[in-house]
A and B are shown apart, each in its own frame.
Chain A
Amino acid sequence: MTLRITAVDAPPGALHELRLEVREFLRREIAAGGFEPEADAWMSGVDPAFSRRLAGRGWVGMTVPARYGGHGRSALERYVVTEELLVAGAPVAAHWIADRQMAPGILRNGSEEQKHRYLPGIVRAEQFMAIGMSEPDSGSDLASVRTRAVEVDGGWRLTGTKVWTSVAHIATAIVVLARTDEGGDRHSGLSQFIVDLPHPAVTISPIITIDGAHHFNEVVFDDAVVPQSALLGRRGDGWRQVTAELGNERSGPERFLSALPLLLAWTRTGAFADDPLARADLGRLVSRLTALRQLSLAVAERLSAGENPAVEAALVKDLGTAFEGEMVDVVRRHVDPASGAVPEQLAAMLAKAVLHVPAFTLRGGTNEVLRSIVAKGLTGR
């Protein structure tokens, strides 16, 4: 395979009107105290009320077709809105996974009944979804999941434990990857289920991360019985379905823009302007940002054309997430707390960002796994 990515032939200012509309909305939100900008808020900024205000503007579930309550907008339009939300550091975590991954997943694999049942709620930001993939003994090696789904009278019985499950504590449903069949290779016999929450046999408990916050959960399925209709897509097709979602999960702008609110908080102070070293560092970051955005846009275009550029998406995420960590470190180096001239908001944002950096290159597939995917794609092995 020849790994090639071609730049998108669209000016960066395409859809400028939409971009300005989103910016104005966010500016008003901040001015009215609707939210405080944060780095990495797509993971940690859980604010259902904000999500609903956003949905009120038609900016959640944008690409969902109108017949399922959506707005039928293009992938590029969604991309523009997503960028602006990330750059503003808006609290989008509540609806993020539903919007990014589960709406496309349900559209691709779901039954008509599932589409009508979940998509309109996702679009209104009333349905928040979590994804149950990793387990205590299955991190990067996702195919080793041990959560089991056994067919019982009228449905399925799920048993097992999921971890690192973002927003499960506020989610109205969780999509679970479970083993339904033994035998065959380890990628077969997996299936996806949509489990409505709360559920009497599902226990959700917080896992506190090193920033002291509650983003992650442990989700225990203790013989949780779900109806037949909970199966998403085809039995045994879970691995294919999950990996198809990864293109969406891995190449989006959140893989290189997580720390941008921090960079902007620093550059807007103007402190870089008279410092040659700061200028050189800033120029390096902006050069890289420009390049990574071109890569991400190119993959987004292929996704919207119906391709599954999994290898390219892995490559973009590897580069983008390493870059995010570098961005935090560059800002840290140039923001000297001893100078006494650091705005309080910048200092607080920086402290939080530093504590988030380790997650950048872990979530959504560790960068080591991503590099193996890229190498396999290159060599066909």
Chain B
Amino acid sequence: MSDHLEDLAEAVRGVLSSRRPVDATAPAGLDTALWKELEQLGFTSLALPEELGGGGGTVRDAAVLVREAASACAAVPVAEAAFVAAPMLAAAGARPPNGPLTAAPGDLYAEPVHGGTWRITGSLSRVPWLRSAGHVVTPVTTPDGPAVAVVPVGHRLLRLVEGTDLAGEQRDGAVLEGVETDQVFPLPAGTWRRDAELYGAAARALQMAGAARGVLEATLRHVGERVQFGRPLVRFQAVQHQLAALAADVVTVEVSADAAILALLRTGYDRELMVASAKAEASALARSVAAVGHQLHGAIGFTMEHRLGAYTRRLWSWRDEYGNELYWHRRIAELVADRGGDVWGLVADADRRPEGAQVHVGD
């Protein structure tokens, strides 16, 4: 990691240091105090251009923030802000709203009504901390093409359907029955819904890398301290081999997530494969990472009083969001089929446009 990214990670860790989980209890809701602190320090708009009031950072900078927040199990939608909202807001030249914002691709339609006002109808599902956020940033379809909408969550025609995920975090649906706002910004032609999905998947892969590392660190500590049959667990070969398998899985999730971010940064043709692989590996390996973590912790790790569950519950939630492994495996097979079965061309020349490949247009 470069010095700049290391410094950034250090700064984010500083803000998050009081938030590290002590047990597996679900957060009470969105941590608005933390959001405010991150917002004041410019972290929540890190990846937006400076002219929009952002930090002018890259997706790599945003990745540092998201991973650190996930390692701390922080209850703030920074992944949504930095990875899903920021690219659309930047492309539309729109400033982010103040206060907590979340983001998600949904199925929404916006039509202009009068004097710059738009009326939005449609639905959103399982949006992180929707009920606690001031706004939700989402791609919408308009009669003139794609746009991004900054929807006020408190609007009377937005009906919330509250829910929680496996980690106990808020995941709310919403039905929009003609929400009126002037915050709809046209986007240049592009695959925005697909991109929001891609960036969301990359963000979840990063978060899972952070949580998986949390499992590894907690497990390493536990097997070093816990004594059975007169010796620490780590002295048993059966335990050592489980640890090695755990570390291999964690490192795989981390490297795949890193590679996905680098591909997004380069905006090459390989970004779809790299993100697909990152999310598929993270989702597929969540099972074994959590399984080894729990197995080596024994019963204590299965209790609410131990923080292992804070990581594993998030892994189990995040593996299904923005596409589980089967979803992305199928997407990868599509990429292979587009190249006429040339797996190697896809993997080794992925940043080059395949000859005669289908280019996906529209959403």
Contacts and interface: CB of A to CB of B under 8 A. Distances in A.
Interface string A154-183: 000000000000000000000000000000
B274 to A, nearest CB: 7
Nearest to A315: B248
B333 A279 contact: yes
B257 to A, nearest CB: 8
B349 A282 contact: no
A283 B332 contact: yes
Contacts of A13: 268, 270, 348-352
B259 interface: yes
B305 interface: no
Given A16-B352, A280-B330, A374-B244, A5 B347 contact: no
Nearest to B235: A381
A318 B244 contact: yes
B343 to A, nearest CB: 5
A158 to B, nearest CB: 35
A3 B258 contact: no
A355 B1 CA distance: 43
Interface residues of B, number: 57
Contacts of A286: 273, 277, 332-333, 335-336, 343, 346-347
A214 interface: no
A378 interface: yes
A47 B241 CA distance: 39
A287 interface: yes
B16 to A, nearest CB: 19
Contacts of B220: 378-379
A11 interface: yes
Interface in A1-39: 3-7, 9, 11-13, 16, 19
A332 to B, nearest CB: 17
B241 to A, nearest CB: 5
B251 A372 contact: no
A308 interface: no
Given A12-B350, A13-B351, A381-B234, A291 B277 contact: yes
Contacts of A260: 343-344
Given A12-B351, A294-B259, A318-B248, A379 B336 contact: no
Contacts of B161: none
Nearest to B274: A290
Given A283-B331, A315-B248, A12 B255 contact: no
B343 A280 contact: no
Contact of A83 (B259, B278, B348): B348
A16 B245 CA distance: 34
Contact of B280 (A267, A287, A374): A287
A319 interface: yes
A282 B333 contact: yes
A242 interface: no
B244 A298 contact: no
B247 A372 contact: no
Interface string B261-278: 010001010100110111
B328 A287 contact: yes
A315 B244 contact: yes
B1 A372 contact: no
A80 B39 CA distance: 45
Interface in A231-276: 260, 263-264, 267-270, 272-273, 276
Contacts of B270: 11-13
Interface in B203-261: 220, 223-224, 234-235, 237, 240-241, 243-245, 247-248, 251-252, 254-256, 258-259
A284 interface: yes
A77 B325 CA distance: 33
Contact of A283 (B268, B329, B341): B329
A334 interface: no
A6 B255 contact: yes
A280 B333 contact: yes
B240 A371 contact: yes
A263 B343 contact: yes
B259 A287 contact: no
A12 B345 CA distance: 10
Nearest to A274: B337
Contacts of B262: 7, 9
Contacts of A350: none
A371 B333 contact: no
Contact of A3 (B235, B247, B256, B274): B247
B284 interface: yes
A155 B288 CA distance: 55
A368 B351 contact: no
A54 interface: no
A291 B237 contact: no
A284 B347 CA distance: 13
Contacts of B53: none
Nearest to A13: B351
Contact of B244 (A288, A295, A378): A378
B340 interface: yes
A378 B330 contact: no
Among B234, B333, B337, max chain A CB count under 10 A is at B333
Contacts of B244: 315, 318, 370-372, 374-375, 378
B255 A371 contact: no
A371 B241 contact: yes
A378 B352 CA distance: 38
Contacts of B344: 87, 260, 264
B136 to A, nearest CB: 31
A294 B335 CA distance: 19
B280 A283 contact: yes
10 contacts: A3-B251, A7-B258, A263-B343, A267-B336, A272-B333, A272-B336, A286-B332, A286-B347, A291-B259, A374-B244
Nearest 3 Cβ contacts at the A-B interface: A283-B329, A375-B240, A7-B258
Interface of B: 1, 220, 223-224, 234-235, 237, 240-241, 243-245, 247-248, 251-252, 254-256, 258-259, 262, 266, 268, 270, 273-274, 276-278, 280-281, 284, 325-326, 328-337, 340-344, 346-352
